Each structure stands twice: as structure tokens, then as C-alpha cells.
Structure 1
């Protein structure tokens, strides 16, 4: 199975047709890993699709760049295997800063290096667009917390009571990272 990383183009009908798949991966990651990722159970698929429609709309002016990992099968069909978002909060005082959001890989496609491929593409594009300082956060104690140092990110610190757990609604700490490109 081959995998390609492409930038989501909201004007591309085949890309827009993938928005329900974005929601499905989002739901799978919350359900499988109890990922703190914007929503808590009970999960409403239509509401999560609307969230991704808004993210896609934000891609039009370039505030968000969405990277997709598309996995192709032997019949040439492609399906969404994962994604990550580069948020570009363009300000006059920080045009060089970007934020990594929603690095999510479908449980069906893990352990294939997709997180690294997605982050490599994001970092390359960020640098090309002038975002040379990236920040991100993840749940303290999550598997993702171990991934980012392997990708060259430096832990900045931990904020207690940062996110609501999808398991028991308890407040969990968040770990923040940064990387200079």
C-alpha cells in the first residue's frame, strides 16, 4: 500500500468529499486512544463534520494548511489515513510563528511512519511560507507526548488542568513543545 502526502485543496471536489473521513478519523482517535481533541463523548458525527467544514473554509485564505496522508490500495482507490494542520495566525509581531494542530492518524494505519511523513511535509511547507517557529500541545502522558521529541521538538512545559478527558471529564495536564525550523 502506497501513501502520499498532499495539501487539502477546498476547491478540489475529491478533497471536499473527504471531510466525513476527517470526522471518522477524529472520532476513531477519541474513541480508541481517548485523545483530547476538541470533542468529548457522546460524539456527534454531524457536528464533527461541521467542524472540519469550518477548518476547510479556513484553508481558503491560507490561515490553515491541512496535510492529508492518502493511502492507495491495489485497485488505485485512495482513502484518508491521517492528517495534520498548520495554523498560521498571521500577525505583524509574529509572522514567523505557526501552530501544529490535530496530528491524527487512523488506528488502521498506525506504525507506518505516517505521523513523521505528515510532520515532515508540514515543516517543509511552514518553512517555505516563512513560519520558522512551530508550537504544539498534546495531552501529558499520551503516546503523542513521546513522538514529538523524536521529531526534534523541545518540551517547553506542562500546564495542569489543561484539557477535558473524553473518558471521565476529568481535567488533564497538557504538554507544550516548540521547534525552530
Structure 2
């Protein structure tokens, strides 16, 4: 039986720091291209989460059975010419909980919040060939471009990134 996924905004990471750090470590270990390389030291993961929240960053987490199994960030542009846009960042689903609609639910919540924040354009990037490319395309994101050799993996291989956008308003 698949448990219900609950999505909520975290205003502080203090009470969830261990679960968030474990989530980050697990997705990096599984090969996610989110700015870190395995093995990710637990202290580095904790430091990352301690510094993630800011006035322009909205953090959502997905929980199943009271366990954090995913997260996504909405970064609101604060530039004078960019107050209509936001970036989707660090979409993560714990490897043991994939294929349960968690990433899609997180993305939908981020999009809803972007609309509440009167943002009409969302942008994001992801490694070429990752399963996330299929998710973003299925949700109406449009490929805007490809940059080769954008990110390096643990084995030293260079990977392209794909930039996407979606007009939501």
C-alpha cells in the first residue's frame, strides 16, 4: 500500500536538520547532480541545510509516514527586472521512495506558491539524460538550451545541463 505524500513548507530547518542531511546524502550517493559529489560528508550536508533558508528561498518538503522523503526550493528573484520570475532548485526524492509521485507533487506545490508570489516565469536546469528531464517535459516545461560540460561527476566525466522554463501566468 502506497502511503499518502504530504507537502509542507519549512520555515526553519532546525527540527529537520538530520532528516534533510540524510536526504541530501542519499540522493548525492545515488548520483544526483545537485551541486555535490559523493561521498558527501555529513557535516557538509548539515552546513548546507543550515545556510539554505533566506528571505528569497522557499523550502518545501515531502513526507510519507512522518519521514522526509523529498524536497524542492523556490528561489524568488529579487532583481528589479526579475520580480516576475523564480528558479526551481534542488528537487530531491529519496532513492527508496521514487516512483510515488513525490517529485511531481513537490513541483506542483512550488508552482502554486510561485503563482501566489505573483511569479509568471519559472526556470530550472538539470543534467541531460536524467529522469527529471521527463518529469519537467511532462509538466509543460520547455527546453530553452543545452550547455555541454556543465557539471562533473564523481568519476570525472563531464555532463551537459538542460535549461527549462515554464510560463505560469
What TM-score, normalized to structure 2? 0.93
Determine the structure 1 residue equivalent to 2:22.
24
Query: What is the alpha-carbon distance in structure 1 between the residues aligned to residue 69 and residue 38 of structure 2?
Result: 22
d(CA) in 2 for partners of 1:180, 1:9: 27
Q: Is the 8 Å Cα contact of residues 147 and 160 (structure 2) preserved in structure 1? A: yes
In the alignment, structure 1 residue 172 sits paired with structure 2 residue 169: no
Task: Give the equivalent residue in structure 2 for 1:142.
Answer: 130
- SS of residue in 2 equivalent to 1:2: coil
Which of 60, 68, 75 aligns to 2:61? It is: 68
> RMSD between aligned alpha carbons?
1.2
Stretches of structure 2 that go unaligned for 5 or more consecutive residues are none
Alignment of 1:114-125 (within 5 A): 114-125=102-113
| C-alpha contact (below 8 Å) 2:29/2:40 kept by paired residues | no
Distance 2:122 2:147 in 1: 18
Tell me how far 1:100 sits from its aligned partner: 0.4
**Structure 1: gaps of 5 or more residues:** 73-77
The aligned residue for residue 37 of structure 1 is 34
Equivalent in 48, 73, 94 of residue 82 of structure 2: 94
* Separation of aligned partners in 1, 2:77 and 2:105: 23
Question: Which of structure 1's runs of 4+ aligned residues deviate more than 2 A?
Answer: none
State the partner residue of 1:153.
141
Q: Distance in 1 between matches of 2:157 and 2:77?
A: 30
- Residue deviations 1:37-68 (CA, integer Å, cap 9, x gap): 11112311111111111003x1xx2x100011
Match of 1:8 in 2: 10
How many residue pairs get matched?
A: 166
Partner of 1:75: none
